Chains A and B, each alone.
Chain A
Amino acid sequence: MSGEGCFGRFDLAIGDCLRWQTGPLTLVVARSTGEWRLWRCEASDPDRSDFSLARLPDVPQPPQDAVWERYVTTEADAPLVVAPLLPDRPIVSRPRDVVFVPPGETVRVFVSVPLWLGLSAGRRPLTEIPTHRPSDTWFGPSTVEGQVCYALRTRFRLEAHAEPAPAWRAVVAVTVRNEDEAAPAMQRLNVPVPLLALFRGTDGRFWSESVTIIRESGETAQLRLGEAPPPEAVNPTRVSPARQVPPRRTMFHALGALLGS
């Protein structure tokens, strides 16, 4: 195995089996002749933070609610590659209480998002598995306009190290600047994670590119995607590109499409 934590490249012979326990997710991958078999299940407690990776002699008996999947492949000696990915939809995070950003003020908040495990057999992608599947939510001014996002149970924080950083979560730094004369209530924050690349620091923490939201006068806001993670990231290196290529690094949106109030 040459993996670091949950991720990396794993050489499995036929009959070998690996089990990941990454917080709420239990994932078992077994190699058979011409196929990869895996089962996964998610614990009812999304806040579990234990991690283990074990090589097992046999495929363990899955619990009743486990999902079985089989992937047939012709690549006989391809290793299993497990890559970290950011979620495939925007993430909505809430503060503990309503936050107001006074006129002219700039604040920086940190959002901790669960990572997806991208499984590949060599260069052939097999599947993607969320370490924790967040609940669906709707973000928009009405039930007609908006988009389906993931809702985070964890609150966004004002300090980067306010909570422990498990190996299967990434931190997104969001800067909110208010250039208007009014102070908008920030009840929810929409983070466009599919547009962001993922980085890993030498301390093992994952970071995404920074995001800046500038509230201009009126009901418009500017969304700027940074080129790099925040300075808190220790010698970051890029580990996966953005899922979607952003049309521009600076975009204009309705305020309600970024900050829910």
Chain B
Amino acid sequence: MDTFLTPFREWLAAVPWWGAFRALVVLALGLVLARLASGAVRRGLTDRVDAQQVMLGRRVVFYLVLGLSVGSALHQMGFQLGVLLGAAGVFSVAIAFASQTSASNLISGLFLVGERPFSVGDVIRVGATTGEVLSIDLLSVKLRTFDNVYVRIPNETLIKSEVATLTRFAIRRIDLAVGVAYREDIDRVRDALMGLADREPLCLEEPAPLFIVTRFGESSIDIQFSVWAERANYLEVKNRIQIAIKRVFDEQGIEIPFPHRSLYAGSVTEAFPIRIVDDRAAGDSGDG
């Protein structure tokens, strides 16, 4: 039995228990200190810089303090930090090859933080995804879409693709496509559209609404009617203006045409044959 336990006892005797205890204390203190420092950064910066910079500052301070305490804890356990860093240098080459995607996202994240095309709280559109930016992290950006879905977009994707920040400027233009029948008087249509924009208080008077006849379409004269609105009112104004267009066109008898086709017989000059059915005559004969 003693023979069996001897290696275990030797191992126990070899473990630097006092050093391990000190390392644990340093680690625990480091964690507490990191949290306190991170909280202090948040309180100190909240009113001075935007949410993204606050988050970045908190993370830098947290991981810096935590990294220092981990290094100190390892030192307490007798590890030589110089040797560790040297080993880390050798391993980092291998790790870099093994984690190219993560490294790419990391570098892209640094570019994103430096370039600042958007901040936490902005609404962005990336490809088919539109949502509010919840956080900008080292590897990815997290969005909340308007149907309340949590979307993670790798930073590399953001660097490579077109990103539209919808909340950068205070006002936005709403482009509406309107089609009217060929028989309508364009000036009357213009007056009707400009009038309804003038009556809508949320629609900006300046920049003035735009009325552009874009083309003569197959079934309608196509018009682009653009109005400006405060960013916060974008959807409401878009909705109200479209409802108002339908109402005003109905009131003034302006036709919004359905797509239609003119049919010709194989020979353009010959008419389609018409068969007249006299239902009344058929009914009368039935009765008789």
Binding site for B on A (CB under 8 A): 44, 92, 133-139, 143-144, 146-148, 151, 188
Contact = CB atoms under 8 A, between A and B. Distances in A.
B198 A136 contact: no
A148 B170 contact: yes
B204 A146 contact: no
16 contacts: A44-B199, A92-B205, A133-B201, A134-B201, A135-B203, A135-B204, A135-B205, A136-B201, A136-B233, A138-B171, A138-B207, A146-B170, A147-B170, A148-B170, A148-B230, A151-B206
Given A144-B169, A148-B230, A139 B206 contact: yes
Nearest to A44: B199
A137 B204 contact: yes
A133 B228 CA distance: 18
Given A143-B171, A147-B170, A148-B171, A138 B206 contact: yes
Contact of A136 (B169, B199, B229): B229
Interface residues of B, number: 17
Contacts of A44: 199
A137 B206 contact: yes
Contacts of A137: 204-206
Chain A contact residues: over half helix, strand or loop, or mixed? Answer: strand
Interface of B: 169-171, 198-207, 228-230, 233
Contacts of B204: 135-138, 148
A188 B155 CA distance: 46
Given A137-B204, A138-B171, A138-B207, 5 more contacts: A135-B201, A136-B230, A143-B228, A147-B170, A148-B171
Residue among A92, A137, A147 facing the most chain B CB atoms (10 A cut-off): A137
A256 to B, nearest CB: 13
B171 to A, nearest CB: 5
A35 B200 CA distance: 32
Given A44-B199, A136-B229, A138-B228, A151 B205 contact: yes
A148 B200 CA distance: 15
Residue among A92, A135, A147 facing the most chain B CB atoms (10 A cut-off): A135
Contacts of B230: 136, 148
A41 to B, nearest CB: 13
B115 to A, nearest CB: 18
Contacts of B203: 135-136
A137 B208 CA distance: 9
A136 B171 CA distance: 11
Residue among A92, A138, A146, A188 facing the most chain B CB atoms (10 A cut-off): A138
5 smallest beta-carbon distances between A and B, as pairs: A137-B205, A151-B205, A137-B206, A135-B201, A136-B204
